[in-house]
Structure 1
């Protein structure tokens, strides 16, 4: 994987949208994650698919749909404050 990309399951886990990497992989394999890359939206089917800075992910979290823009990848699964720096809410006003 290049320095400008990260596996989607790893990113979801590091950004704390999944408790485990295998839970993130299962979410992707079930077809519940959509990726918008360069304006084209696709439903992801493999956890090994790449995400890049600037991509937008859409997926269910609890009883709501979450749409986030990827801002970074992180080196590890760190504390929540560190994880919040990896994404921004794509549905928020002004962004």
Structure 2
């Protein structure tokens, strides 16, 4: 959703991320396959279901295969 870990951590700390409907404020919170993330980003809200993880960091294209888009709201 964002390019850098620091940007992702900032979204969490500022309250723009929910995990399974609960606002998350700790960037180190572990997530697991099946968790639903709600992310408020750039005047939209994206709802994603985590479907898997990579062993190592990859590019954006490989990351797209690790979640299912459940919805987007403006």
TM category (shorter chain) comes to 0.7 to 0.9
**Which residues of structure 1 form unaligned runs of 5+?**
1-16
TM-score, normalised with respect to structure 1:
0.69
The match for 1:9 is none
TM-score (norm 2): 0.86
- Number of residue pairs the alignment of both structures matches: 72
Provide structure 2 residue ranges, at least 5 long, that are not aligned to the other structure: none
Instruction: Report the alpha carbon displacement of residue 75 of structure 1 after superposing the two structures with TM.
Output: 2.5
Q: List structure 1 runs of 4+ shifted beyond 3 angstroms.
A: none
The range that moved more, 71-80 or 48-57, is: 71-80
Aligned position for 2:2: 18
Cα RMSD for the two superposed structures: 1.5
Q: Which has the higher contact order (CA 8 A, sep 6+)?
A: 1
- Of 68-77 and 22-31, more deviation after overlay is shown by 68-77
Q: What is the deviation of 1:76?
A: 3.0
